[in-house]
């Protein structure tokens, strides 16, 4: 299936995930379709209608939808998977019922189970146990986990697995995640096997897909743990049916929503990994990839119609969802940093151009053909890195003290960290990201 020059923009993720009751609505998108003020749901300012065929680039609840995503006329056609990941918007922090302009709110895009318990983004009670930023100085572990002794995640370094568990319980980095996210974690991933699978999926995704540069195992863990807030507020069943999800096909209508913790799309992230990604790494994460997909002919209508039906539960599987999205974030971060898009088939052919974490996040948000140069001030990467309450346009968030920065213990009250991990140059590694 060719890409028509752009990814189906996965992109309308809410600006850093300031969602959930108690969050502040983003500037310019504070009302639902019915004209009522969104009760605290952080909405996207609209995604970018240009850099992708706008899947997900539509705003989620309450925001104005994107133009539906033009098809990136003029983009180069890639073979084997070009559409961007599909994980764009936040679930769990969507606005009140009724805020569904343009069909952009997912079923399950409402505040997520337990999401209404947040009070203006304050941290959970457990968060008072440590001062912000004590979550480790940046990762003693290198790129790649050392098998540890934890029975909950035997493939990852035991200390890294325990650290991710601590982040998810808010026992280390105060305010790193908003309160509604911690509430949803407790609801959707209660103690025991479910919680261990969530923490292990994050840890193992980074064992397999963290960039090779120094300390990126832990930086990867912090990115993924934070990004899940922006995409689903830790509601694994989130399904977002945006305008791209129901696009017209030849002789059919698409059923191609963005799904799960990191809002992946069947026709993009899953398609791209299916034909280009290393299946052994996905198996190591605990993801059972449907064997029939690996021999599936690459036909447009199949990949555009099966994501919302036959393969919905596959995409909601925590290991498969986090693993495929992490792969997508980091293959783009390490290879889509040039003046024009580098699709996965080109990357695997050795044509990747070094990028940054901002590159990877914007490729997920807006499509691989995102507007160049990568904008570090885009609220999506900014919120994931710096702002515990989400988007600086929709809440008071001075400096860089939340989310990734809090996990890594590098926050500042005045500006981004220096040096800034999200601006660090990450080099192509096709042997890691390609089959």
Mean pLDDT by 10 residues, the chain (435 residues): 40 37 31 31 28 31 33 35 41 33 31 31 33 35 48 95 95 86 96 96 98 98 97 97 96 97 97 98 98 97 97 98 98 98 98 98 95 93 87 75 94 91 98 98
Q: With respect to residue 380, please indicate whether it lies within any of the assigned structural domains.
A: yes
Give how many domains the chain has, as a whole number.
1
- The pLDDT score that the predictor gives to residue 132 is 33
Q: With respect to residue 4, please indicate whether it lies within any of the assigned structural domains.
A: no
Q: With respect to residue 17, please indicate whether it lies within any of the assigned structural domains.
A: no
Secondary structure element (H or E) that encloses residue 265, with its range = strand 264-265
- The pLDDT score that the predictor gives to residue 330 is 98
Q: With respect to residue 29, please indicate whether it lies within any of the assigned structural domains.
A: no
Q: Could you tell me the pTM of the whole model?
A: 0.74
Q: With respect to residue 160, please indicate whether it lies within any of the assigned structural domains.
A: yes
Peptide bond before residue 419 is cis, with ω within 30 degrees of 0: yes
Strand order in the sheet with 239-240: 239-240, 258-259, 264-265
Contacts of 10 (CB under 8 A, 6+ apart): 52, 55, 56, 57, 83, 84, 85, 86, 87, 88, 258, 263, 264, 265, 268, 269, 364, 365, 366, 367
CA distance 145 to 147: 6
- The pLDDT score that the predictor gives to residue 389 is 77
Q: Which domain holds residue 284?
A: 101-433
Q: With respect to residue 18, please indicate whether it lies within any of the assigned structural domains.
A: no
CA distance 173 to 151: 24
- The pLDDT score that the predictor gives to residue 408 is 96
Q: With respect to residue 334, please indicate whether it lies within any of the assigned structural domains.
A: yes
CA distance 387 to 244: 29
- The pLDDT score that the predictor gives to residue 163 is 96
- The pLDDT score that the predictor gives to residue 171 is 85
CA distance 384 to 222: 9
Q: With respect to residue 7, please indicate whether it lies within any of the assigned structural domains.
A: no
- The pLDDT score that the predictor gives to residue 149 is 58
């Amino acid at each position: 299936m060719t890409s028509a020059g752009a990814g189906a923009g996965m992109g309308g993720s809410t600006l850093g995930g300031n969602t959930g009751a108690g969050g502040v609505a983003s500037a310019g998108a504070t009302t639902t379709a019915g004209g009522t003020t969104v009760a605290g749901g952080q909405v996207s300012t609209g995604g970018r209608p240009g850099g992708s065929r706008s899947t997900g680039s539509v705003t989620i609840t309450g925001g104005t939808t994107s133009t539906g995503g033009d098809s990136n006329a003029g983009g180069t056609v890639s073979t084997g998977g070009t559409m961007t990941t599909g994980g764009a918007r936040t679930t769990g922090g969507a606005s009140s019922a009724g805020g569904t302009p343009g069909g952009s709110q997912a079923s399950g895009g409402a505040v997520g189970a337990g999401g209404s318990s947040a009070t203006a983004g304050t941290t959970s009670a457990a968060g008072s146990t440590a001062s912000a930023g004590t979550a480790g100085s940046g990762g003693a572990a290198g790129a790649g986990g050392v098998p540890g002794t934890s029975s909950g995640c035997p493939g990852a370094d035991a200390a890294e697995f325990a650290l991710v568990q601590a982040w998810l319980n808010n026992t280390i980095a105060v305010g790193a995640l908003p309160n509604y996210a911690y509430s949803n974690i407790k609801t959707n991933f209660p103690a025991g096997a479910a919680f261990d699978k969530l923490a292990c999926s994050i840890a193992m995704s980074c064992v397999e897909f963290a960039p090779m540069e120094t300390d990126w195992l832990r930086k990867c863990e912090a990115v993924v743990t934070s990004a899940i807030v922006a995409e689903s507020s830790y509601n694994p069943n989130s399904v977002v049916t945006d305008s791209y999800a129901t696009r017209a096909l030849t002789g059919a209508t698409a059923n191609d929503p963005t799904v799960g913790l990191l809002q992946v799309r069947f026709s993009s992230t899953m398609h791209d990994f299916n034909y280009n990604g290393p299946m052994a790494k996905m198996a190591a994460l605990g993801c059972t990839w449907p064997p029939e997909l690996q021999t599936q002919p690459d036909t447009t209508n199949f990949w555009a119609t099966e994501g919302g039906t036959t393969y919905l539960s596959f995409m909601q599987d925590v290991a498969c969802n986090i693993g495929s999205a992490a792969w997508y974030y980091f293959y783009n971060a390490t290879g889509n940093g040039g003046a024009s898009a580098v699709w996965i088939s080109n990357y695997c052919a050795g044509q990747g151009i070094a990028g940054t974490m901002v590159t990877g996040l914007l490729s997920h948000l807006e499509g691989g053909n995102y507007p160049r140069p990568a904008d570090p001030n885009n609220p999506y990467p900014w919120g994931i890195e710096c702002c515990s309450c989400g988007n600086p346009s929709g809440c008071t968030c001075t400096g860089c003290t939340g989310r990734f920065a809090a996990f890594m213990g590098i926050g500042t009250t005045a500006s981004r960290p220096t040096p800034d991990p999200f601006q660090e140059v990450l080099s192509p590694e096709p042997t890691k990201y390609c089959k």
